[in-house]
Amino acid sequence: MKRQLSKIFKPPVRAVIIIDVIAIPLTVIALAFLSPMNPISLFAYLLSTYALIISVIGFKSVIRRIRELMTGDEIKAIVGFRKLMHKNKLTALYLESKDFRAVVSLYFGLAFNLLFATFKVTSGIHDGSAWLISIGIYYFVFAAARFMLAQDHRRQKSTDKNSKLYEYRTYRRCGIMMMLLNLTIGGMSVQMIWRNEVTSYSRTAVIISAAYTFFCFISSITKVISFRRSDNAILLATKDLTMSGAVMSMFSLQNSMLHTFGGADDNKFRLIMNTVTGGSVLVIVLVIASFMIISGTKKLKKYGDLK
């Protein structure tokens, strides 16, 4: 029995990747064009659930295999693409420098944040939803924090003077911004949950939110893996900030999906789910922000600076 369960929930890495590739677009099609009770929709939801389970269980193996494929010689198209990238100075630097990849990732995430924030605020104004507007403002401030980290990382490279002091000032400042942002959005969440405010979401809005959440989690996982051994506090702040954004995106997505696909008699279930998930997300972000502030303060004391 144990061996059979292992085969079901720990399939070969190739099978995990194939199932993920099939499940994601199939679920998007089901959400966008089909009714929730359509047989294809039900199959898509079951397959996506299974894909999520096996992806989490086999996460390390999947990441290791993807790295092997991206850096090895098995796929000729990837080998050719890497050779093409080495011909250009900037793309070659992207392949060779972890710090440069971090900066590119920061600016790419910044652009994505700004687009998503604009979408949320615009949707909130159109639908008359204070919750959507507040989420949009959250992502604008989130984008500002990303921009601050990108600029501080660039300035740090321009001088070696007091490099560690500079890093930990930025690290602590990012933690303070996250704390204030968390308290603000926490207040809005409490009001939304206990007033049981209902906003009508289009399926397009839900799909866009789902795509953004997926992007956030992939970005967060990538940064956790890439920067886990880094001694650069600015890159560590980037990792923590991205992780916080990912869990907040999950809460926002859950709220929109419950309102879009739930029935009129699901108010109690919606209240419980939003309370549990919202509370968990706010606690997670609070813990991350507190750790950044406390750790940054301790490091600044060690280096004899508390400005």
Q: What pLDDT, on a 0 to 100 scale, did the predictor assign at position 191?
A: 63
Radius of gyration over every alpha carbon of the chain, rounded to an integer in angstroms: 21
pLDDT at 171: 86
Provide the pLDDT for residue 194.
65
Q: What is the reported pTM?
A: 0.66
pLDDT at 2: 66
* pLDDT attached to residue 279: 81
What pLDDT does 36 receive? Answer: 66
In the chain, where does DSSP find H-type helix? 2-9, 13-33, 39-57, 59-71, 76-86, 89-96, 98-127, 130-157, 163-194, 203-227, 233-261, 267-302
pLDDT reported for residue 94 = 75
CB atoms within 10 A of CB 147: 16
Tell me what pLDDT residue 195 has. Answer: 62
Give the residue ranges of the chain where pLDDT is below 50: 161, 307
pLDDT for 212 equals 77
Q: What is the per-residue pLDDT for 137?
A: 82
Determine the pLDDT at residue 306: 53
pLDDT for position 124: 80
The SS3 of residue 64 is helix
Q: What is the pLDDT of residue 276?
A: 80
